[in-house]
C-alpha cells in the first residue's frame, strides 16, 4: 500500500479452492465475509484463513459489526486485517481499535496459544508478537451510512485506523439513492470525495469495490484515490462466466 494500490477479490462462497486460486493468480488480498454469507465464525472461517495463508494471499475478514470478541478472535485465528461494517460514530471506531490493537494503541487481550502468535512456539517473545501485531494488523472501518460523514473528522481522528472501506451500495440505501457499484449518483460521489480527501490528508487508505474491474473503471477509481481495490467477488465472477457460456450455447439449444 505504501508503494501503490493493492488488489483483491471478495470470496462469498467460502470455497477453499476459490481462495487458493485467488492467491495463485497473484492478488494481494482476499476479502472473506461473515456479514452476508452463511459462513460461521469458527471452523468455516478458520479453514478459509488457512487457505489464504497457504496460497500466500493476505486474509482480510469482514465481521458482523464492531464486536470486541469477534475482532480479537479473528485476528488470533490468523486474519491479517478486519473490515468492520456500519461504523457510524467515533465510539464505533474506538471499539475496533480497542479490540484489535495492544497497548498503547488499544486494549486487546493477550494470549500466546493462538495461531497469530505461533502458539508461543520457537522464537516467541511477547515483545515481538505485540509489536508485529500492532504494526501489521489492518483495521478497516466501513463507511456505508450517511452518519459516517456526519462524524467524519471524529472517526478519522481515532489513532490506528489503516483504511476506510467505502460501501456504495449501503450508502445509497441509507440516503434513498439508486443502488449501484459505480460512483455516478451526485450525492454518493460527493460523500466519497469528502471521505477520500480527509482520509488522504490523515494518511489513511481507501478501499472500495470496482465492479466491473474493467481497465477504464480501474483507472477511474485508482485516479479517485482508491488504493485497496476489491475487483468483485467469486460468485459474481462465476455468474459472469456462466452468463458467457450460456450465451455461447444459445444457438445450439433446441427451441420449443
pLDDT for 11-62, tens place per residue?
999 999 999 999 999 999 999 999 999 988 889 999 999 999 999 999 999 9
Report the DSSP pairing between strands 138-143 and 81-84.
parallel
Confidence (pLDDT) at 256? 58
Mean pLDDT, all residues of the chain:
96
State residue 231 phi and psi, 5-degree precision: -90, 50
Is the pTM above the cut of 0.85? yes
Contacts 24+ apart (CB under 8 A), 133-136: 133/75, 133/101, 133/102, 133/108, 134/101, 134/102, 134/105, 136/80
Please report the pLDDT score of residue 1 as a whole number.
82
Residue-level pLDDT at 42: 85
Which CATH class name applies to 6-252?
A: alpha beta
pLDDT computed for residue 3 by the predictor? 87
Query: Which stretches of the chain drop beneath a pLDDT of 50?
Result: none
Amino acid at each position: 500500500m505504501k508503494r501503490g494500490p493493492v488488489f483483491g477479490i471478495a470470496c462469498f462462497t467460502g470455497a477453499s479452492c476459490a481462495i487458493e486460486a485467488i492467491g495463485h493468480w497473484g492478488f494481494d488480498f482476499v476479502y472473506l465475509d461473515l456479514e452476508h454469507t452463511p459462513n460461521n465464525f469458527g471452523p468455516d472461517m478458520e479453514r478459509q484463513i488457512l487457505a489464504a495463508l497457504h496460497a500466500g494471499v493476505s486474509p482480510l475478514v469482514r465481521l458482523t459489526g464492531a464486536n470486541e470478541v469477534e475482532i480479537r478472535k479473528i485476528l488470533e485465528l490468523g486474519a491479517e486485517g478486519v473490515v468492520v461494517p456500519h461504523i457510524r460514530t467515533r465510539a464505533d471506531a474506538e471499539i475496533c481499535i480497542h479490540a484489535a490493537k495492544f497497548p498503547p494503541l488499544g486494549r486487546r487481550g493477550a494470549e500466546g496459544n493462538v495461531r497469530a502468535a505461533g502458539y508461543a512456539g520457537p522464537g516467541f517473545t511477547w515483545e515481538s508478537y505485540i509489536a508485529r501485531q500492532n504494526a501489521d494488523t489492518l483495521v478497516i472501518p466501513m463507511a456505508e451510512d450517511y452518519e459516517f460523514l456526519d462524524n467524519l473528522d471524529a472517526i478519522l481522528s481515532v489513532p490506528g485506523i489503516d483504511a476506510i472501506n467505502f460501501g456504495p451500495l449501503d450508502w445509497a440505501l441509507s440516503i434513498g439513492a439508486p443502488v449501484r457499484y459505480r460512483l455516478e449518483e451526485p450525492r454518493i460521489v460527493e460523500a466519497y470525495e469528502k471521505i477520500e480527501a480527509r482520509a488522504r490528508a490523515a494518511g489513511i487508505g481507501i478501499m472500495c469495490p470496482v465492479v466491473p474491474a474493467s481497465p477504464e473503471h480501474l483507472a477511474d477509481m485508482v485516479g479517485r484515490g482508491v488504493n485497496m481495490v476489491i475487483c468483485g467477488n467469486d460468485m459474481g465472477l462465476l455468474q459472469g462466466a456462466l452468463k458467457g457460456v450460456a450465451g455461447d450455447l444459445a444457438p445450439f439449444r433446441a427451441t420449443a
